[in-house]
Structure 1
């Protein structure tokens, strides 16, 4: 399956604390990491590691961070030829993780604002997120006949034309509550963390599947790994319930890995039959 990912490419600056600070409070962290991230890059890496043929469309700076981000994508097997190098700095995400694996994130987009959509439709699936301009995503979706997937994160108002064009929208429970108009979407997958995930069709809940229980080390890249897995399952025409259950297994593997771009096995190693 050929997958194009249009989205953000960041460097994650991750600090660990036992608990999140209150407003105005300073806490001492117990660890700091600097590693490749960005929702677009994370999903591209996850899809490639799960076995898809993936091309990344986005933008990074002409800086050392951009070099690191591109190298990580290339190492994961992602085609990086269409990544734009910009005079703007590579995007940065400031991330705090607490003792239970939860996180708080602030993204500084930088070069991500200059992401350029695919010029040719040589792919089966197009995945995009909202750490790049929504206008860029809308234009890309309206210009292709591929299976289109919008990970509507972070939450923002969406043009009705984008909601109606998306073949699949993936959000967490907070984004689902915050974004108006998702009841008009054809298919929406909503994740509920440890409570599992659900599939909605034309605003009606079809079913819910439980989360796969595991020890949480880091939840930063788990949603992106889940998104990549559920997209590959549904785009391939797999039974929807099985697709969500398989994605839950992938998400469980991701939260057990400390990296924003976790090591994953191929899709068939997680596949669950409903």
Structure 2
């Protein structure tokens, strides 16, 4: 037994020594501080790039486990975080030693090749360090960009906006929906479109002086993914007083569907909850401080995508790393005892959710995705939200968890149809189209 303990002690000591040595080794890799270029810096073909780095004094060779051997700086093309073709050396065998135990700054100007095309590039600082028995190479990468102008294959103006999309989805999903809001003086055609699709617009006003909100949506023809830039317009002019007048017509048994695209959203949610309305909240776009702005403890059903779930959980002080969608749904449901359910949409991976009818009746839901050819994902999330609530209310005579199952299934199918079409509001399918897919 004594021998075993000695062996174990030696093993632990050996590991500790290795770890200490490696820690010292890697501390040597901080001898260089890059001052130029900076991440995200714009460059132009034919212009000069200033490369500047500061060398720190190294530990004396007799006590240091390693020393710097050299530094190469090169220029290459990249795609996202992936290195592509190396285009040239900026500086080979750069100076690496500080002098007289003082910090030394080295600067070099390098002309960017005149044939450099618009796109994404990077500058690599490749450090070589010699240890007693081995060498290692560490690379620090600075991402830079050459200004790029893209040609579009087409342009269309279509009605949209999260709240409007969700209202149309509720109506097409068989629900009775009243849309409340403030439209711009250029948006009568949007109001007409929503009325044609079954939405009651009697609680919606049109501003005489303000323009409507805009979403500038760029859609990739290769993947169907989108990039959206928002201009709030009249969305930022809606007030709690406006909402209070509308809410006079509603009460217990009714639902309010809210997003994070209008002003004073938290105050409006409080007003609705205090009048006894159930709250479905889709907190998009996710903004810093949203957990302080909105009363999440008054939300009945929360619908988020996986990234929003991660951001929200982190904002609440949790560690989202390594947690899947169902784990995040469970954690969020724990945080808010009043909440009945959390739905997490996973894009091409389907939907997961966690609902509770009572404290001891909790159920997980996993809905696989529908395999379709994706053209435009812009309105998919809003279609899901609207169809979920429409179906959940329509199935009110069913068992609670059966209602949730029906709602998730119909919403999932509706969203899968929406992504096969261009646009947002006009991509929402009819209930007959959804039921036809479910029958297959």
Same fold (TM over 0.5): yes
Count of aligned pairs between the two proteins: 252
Mapped pair 1:189 → 2:325: no
**Deviation (angstroms), 1:233:** 2.8
**Deviation (angstroms), 1:124:** 2.1
1:33-44 correspondence runs (5 A) = 33-44=156-167
Mapped pair 1:143 → 2:274: yes
Which deviates more from structure 2 when the two are superposed, residues 229-238 or residues 168-177? 229-238
State the partner residue of 2:411.
Answer: 247
Mapped pair 1:89 → 2:227: no
Q: Do the aligned residues in 2 keep the contact of 1:250 with 1:270 (CA within 8 Å)? A: no
TM-score, scaled relative to structure 2? 0.53
User: How big is each residue's C-alpha offset from its partner over 1:122-166, in whole Å with a ceiling of 9 and x where there is no partner?
Assistant: 672211111012334423433332221001111131248721111
Over 3 Å counting, the alpha-carbon distance change for 1:226 and 1:173 in structure 2 is same
Over 3 Å counting, the alpha-carbon distance change for 1:108 and 1:158 in structure 2 is same
Over 3 Å counting, the alpha-carbon distance change for 1:102 and 1:119 in structure 2 is same
Mapped pair 1:114 → 2:237: yes
| Superposed CA RMSD | 2.6
Name the CA distance, whole Å, in 2 between partners of 1:38 and 1:60. 11
4+ aligned runs moved over 4 Å, structure 1: 19-23, 270-273
Name the CA distance, whole Å, in 1 between partners of 2:191 and 2:389. 23
Name the CA distance, whole Å, in 2 between partners of 1:91 and 1:205. 39
State the partner residue of 2:364.
Answer: 206
Which deviates more from structure 2 when the two are superposed, residues 116-125 or residues 250-259? 116-125
State the partner residue of 1:55.
Answer: 178
Mapped pair 1:67 → 2:188: yes
TM-score, scaled relative to structure 1? 0.83
Unaligned runs of 5+ in 2: 1-78, 81-118, 121-144, 317-331, 357-361
Over 3 Å counting, the alpha-carbon distance change for 1:226 and 1:270 in structure 2 is farther
Mapped pair 1:26 → 2:149: yes
Mapped pair 1:155 → 2:286: yes
Unaligned runs of 5+ in 1: 1-18
Name the CA distance, whole Å, in 1 between partners of 2:156 and 2:256. 31
Over 3 Å counting, the alpha-carbon distance change for 1:228 and 1:264 in structure 2 is same
Name the CA distance, whole Å, in 1 between partners of 2:160 and 2:354. 29
Q: Do the aligned residues in 1 keep the contact of 2:392 with 2:406 (CA within 8 Å)? A: no
